Each structure stands twice: as structure tokens, then as C-alpha cells.
Amino acid sequence: MSFYVTTPIYYVNGEPHLGHAYSTMAADVLARHMRQRGEDVFFLTGTDEFGEPVAQQAEREGVTPRELGDRLAPRFKEMAAKVNASNDFFIRTTDEGHQKRVQEVVQQVYDNGHVYEGTYEGWYCPRCADFKTDSEIAEGNTCPIHGIELTREQQDNWFFRLSSFQEPLERLYAERPDFVIPDFRRNEALSFIRQGLRDVSLSRPKLKWGVPVPWDPEQVIYVWFDALLNYYTALSYAREGKDLTETYWPAFHLLAKDILKFHAVYWPAFLMAAGLEVPRGMVIHGYLLMGESKMSKSLGNVLDPFDAIDRYGSDALRFYCFREVSFGRDGAVSAAGFESRYETELANDYGNLASRVLAMVDRYRDGTVPNSEADPAIAEDFKGIVTRFSALLDKTELTVALDEVWTLVRRLNRFVEETRPWDLAKDEDEAGRLDQVLYTLIEGLRVTTLLLLPYLPVSAERLLGALGEEDRGLAELGSRGGGQQIERLGQLFPKLEPATG
Ligand code: ME8
């Protein structure tokens, strides 16, 4: 089976921040987990470089949009590498291959009779590059997302007959109840559809920074259609001489609530209009907040992903974001909270457990894992964890799945305290019990670490190496016997002096 997962492509109108890193890390957790399950995975991320949001920023900075993109796209690429994303390709919408394919698909939509020429007048937000419907206008005639005043705009351009897809979209939502998850986001999208859909612009006349409309070079394709199409176009040119579309399409999309309408309404309609398969599904996550507001650099106390990773490593940041904020909901993050979870959970709960257990096997059994049976109580707590965990990640429950594993990590810590292997080691008669305890702990560590691998790719690799585990597939407790040689391990998460204070 193949699994194709995408992040939004980020506008090159500012430096990448933790919000962008969050989406990329989330998609990476899914990609890595699916690879462990033996799926043939393709993971895409990239940058959105056309349209008003970029053109206006370039104007403010006194550079061309192309220059702005050339400066910022590499920063987003660096961010992906920095958070240890295992993406298979990085798309830039300025790529030739993307533009060519966009024109082909848009031409197809035109040939299929879903495009006409007309005039549109309405309230417009240039930061969203979006005309707002009545229900999307906030108090004082402002944009609910950006808080800026909307402008009255009239445009003569090409229109996409979105209105004629109302019924097909309602049918899609009825047939595929998990097309948009979580449920409350699905309901939001569905009620937007049910309100009645108006046709939307497919092109822009004034703006020159975009992909030309194939049958009317005076116009450029509206940035949202060009951007959404990245998910489809990338497969056609990501590998030279090879079209991956057949292998991987349709995609599973990951995005935040700000761009729900484009993905859950416009995008499937546009694909239907082009005669292409609609996405496999999409998951909508919330915002990371600093205090009460959406994260932004100007607010200070920003948890900078680059700084945090330089100090604590990418695993720590990945872990913190998914553990702290219930995935799907908005949630606050802070530098202090990050440091505290690093200390209590990564360093103490997990890192100490690993080094203690390895040290005991080294000391009491010369580094060889004893052949034994798992302790029945622990076996009971671990029972079915792979199935439970996989089912949660199938629903992109990144936080609940992580919580499940963490409960087991804590259970193993309690097991050490309860069994006191250091006392058992003093008593010859307890040799069998000590074998069982050590075997159970090693198995527990192996099983939890395999599950944690997508969240903590660097440390999990180190630990699996020390455990002598070569396989990366998920495993239930007790599925491996003893006899293997382990190695001692230093601190997986060394203690650091807090940076805040
Ligand atoms: O909207 N919390 O690009 P964009 C969580 N180019 N996620 C956040 C976030 C926060 N505080 N801030 C940003 C665009 N994000 C278009 C997308 S896709 C075909 C085109 C993440 O640079 C989140 O994924 O404004 C959000 O949807 C995305 O960045 C918006 O990035």
C-alpha cells in the first residue's frame, strides 16, 4: 500500500516559525509511522511563492517576489531539515515542472466546461488572497484571520463554477464521513457547503506574479488554485524521468484550521472538475498559541524552533509540541513548559529508565539479555498496544497515541521500583525472577521505543542500537526472546541549565 502525506506549502512572506514547524513535524510523525508499518510512503512539503501575499511583502521590502522567494524558500527547507523531517521532496511553486502541470490541469477544467468569464465584486482580504462571504466577515468589516480591514474589490476575470459542485460535495461528505477529521472541522466545512456555494475567481487580472492562464495570458491563475495543485503536480516531476502520480495519488493532507475552506471545499470540487480523484482525506489541526494569541514573532517569548533545537535537539521539540497541545485543538506553548517537560518526561521518565535498565543488564548479566518470559502484569498492560496505537494514528490522534505510550513508559518505571532488581541481584535464589524482570524491562523498552520512533527519531535510533534491535517494524511485548547483547548508553537527554529563569 502507498501513503502520500502533505503539509501546507508555506508562503515565502516571512521567516519560518514554530507554527510551520509544527505542521511539518506532525506530517513527519505520520510518514515515519507509516513507513514502520511497511507502507510505501511519499512525504511532501514546500513553499507557496506566487500571489498577493508574497507580492505585497516583496513590495514592502523593495525586492522582487522572485528575490524574496529565493531568499526565504531555502529557510523553509532548512527548517524542515532542522526538525528532522523525512520529506521525499520539497516543492517550490516557482518550479517549471509545477507551473507546466498547473496549466495542464486548469486547461482540463476549462475544457470540461467549468470555467466562464465574468465580473466579481465583494469584500477582499489581500493577506488571505480571498473574497469573504457574509459569514466570514468579522466586526468592523475586518478579516477574522488577519484582523485587517477588508477592501471592496471588483474584478473581471475567469470564474470556476464552484456552485455546480454543491451536490457532489455533499455526496462526498455523506459517503466518506472521515474525509475531514476531526469531526467538528468536518461539520464546519459541511455547513459552509450547505449555506450555498458561490462561484469563485480562477484568475486575477491585475497581478502579474503568477502562473499565466493558458488560454488568456493577460491573466494569472488565482494563487489558491495554483497552490493547492502543488499536491498533485509534485508527483509528476519530483523524480526525474518518472511520474509518481499513479503510485501515490490521492494524498492525505495535513493543515491548520485557517485554510480549511480551501482544502475541504474548493480543492475536492476543483479535482472533480478536472476529472481527477479527490484526496484520500485530511486532518485539520489547531494553532499553537503563545499566551492568548496566535504565535507571532512580534509578541516576544516566542519558542523559536531553531534556538530550541540548537539547545535541546529536534526530538525534544517534536515531543513537547505533541505532548503539550492536544493535536487538533489550539494550545499554548512556552519556553518554560518546554524545559519542564524535557526534564521531567524525556530526561527522567524515559532517558533515566533506558540508562538504568541497560546498566543493570550490563552489571547483573554481563550485557546479555536473559531468556525468560514477560512478567504477566506488565504483559497485561502492554497487550494489544501496537493495534491500539496504530488505530489512533490512523485517525491522526498524535497526542492520544503518545499519551498511551507514555503511560507504559511510566508503568515500566513503577515496575523497577516495585521489583527492586538491585535487591534481587543480592539473592542467588532470586536469579530466575531477576531474569524475568530484566527481560521484561528490555522488552518494554524495545516496544515503547519502536512506537516512539516517529516522535523521537534520533534518540529512538540510538536506544534501539544499544538494545541490539535491527528491525524497525512495530512489535508486541514478548515477541523477541533473549540472548542478544546490549550496550550501555549515556544520557539520552542530558540535563541542561534552563535558558529561562
Ligand atoms: O496559508 N499554529 O501559508 P502560510 C499551528 N500558502 N500551525 C500554524 C501556525 C500556528 N500558530 N501558524 C502557521 C498558507 N501554521 C498557504 C497554504 S497550501 C496549498 C497553501 C501552519 O505560510 C499551519 O499548517 O500562511 C497553517 O495552515 C499554515 O502554517 C499556513 O501557512
Give residue-wise pLDDT tens across range 11-50.
Answer: 999 999 999 999 999 999 999 999 999 999 999 999 999 9
Q: Kindly report the protein residue whose alpha carbon is nearest to atom 13 of ligand 1.
A: 19
- The pLDDT of 352-365, averaged and rounded, is 98
Strands 115-125, 151-160: pairing is: antiparallel
Q: Count the residues in the chain.
A: 501
Our separate counts of H helices and E strands in the chain read: 21, 16
> Cα dihedral sign for 80, 81, 82, 83?
positive
Atom of ligand 1 minimally distant from the CA of 262: 19
pLDDT at 231 over 50: yes
Stated pTM of the model:
0.95
> Residues near ligand 1 with C-beta < 6 Å?
8-11, 19-20, 22-23, 48, 227-228, 230, 255-256, 258-259, 287-288, 294-295
Tell me what pLDDT residue 206 has.
Answer: 66
Residues 94-99, mean pLDDT to the nearest whole number: 98
Q: Would you please indicate which residues are annotated as catalytic (active-site) residues? A: 17, 20, 125, 128, 143, 146, 294, 297
Q: What is the mean pLDDT of residues 51-70?
A: 94
Banded pLDDT at 304 (limits 50, 70, 90) = confident
State how far the alpha carbon of 44 is from the alpha carbons of 1, 31, 87, 154, 192, in Å: 17, 10, 6, 36, 28
> Is the pLDDT assigned to residue 389 strictly greater than 60?
yes
Determine the atom of ligand 1 nearest the C-alpha atom of 257. Answer: 27
Q: What percent of the chain has pLDDT over 70?
A: 96
For the stretch 127-186, pLDDT in tens is 888 888 888 899 989 998 888 999 998 888 999 999 999 999 999 999 999 999 999 999
Reported as a pLDDT band with limits 50, 70 and 90, residue 121 is confident
Nearest to 136 by CA among 127, 152, 124, 153: 124
CB atoms under 10 Å from CB of 286, counted, come to 17
Indicate which atom in ligand 1 lies nearest the CA of residue 227: 19
Query: Which amino acid is residue 405, in one-letter code?
Result: V
Q: Give the end-to-end CA distance of the chain in Å, rounded to a whole number.
A: 49
Nearest to 288 by CA among 309, 305, 264, 274: 305
Strand partners, 89: 44
The pLDDT tens digits of the residues spanning 232-263 come to 999 999 999 999 999 999 999 999 999 999 99
Q: Does the structure show a pLDDT above 80 at 222?
A: yes
Residues 6+ positions from 97 with CB-CB distance below 8 Å: 233, 236, 237
- Closest C-alpha residue for ligand 1 atom 9: 19
**Whose CA is closest to 454, among 381, 388, 393, 408?**
393
Rounded to an integer, what is the distance from CA 200 to the centroid of its chain?
Answer: 29
- Distances in Å between the Cα of 28 and the Cα atoms of 22, 305, 379 are 10, 16, 30
Give the whole-angstrom CA distance, residue 31 versus residue 43.
Answer: 6
Tell the burial category of 291 from Cβ atoms under 10 Å away from its Cβ (0-12, 13-18, 19+): exposed
Is the pLDDT at 294 greater than 60? The verdict is no
pLDDT of residue 295: 52
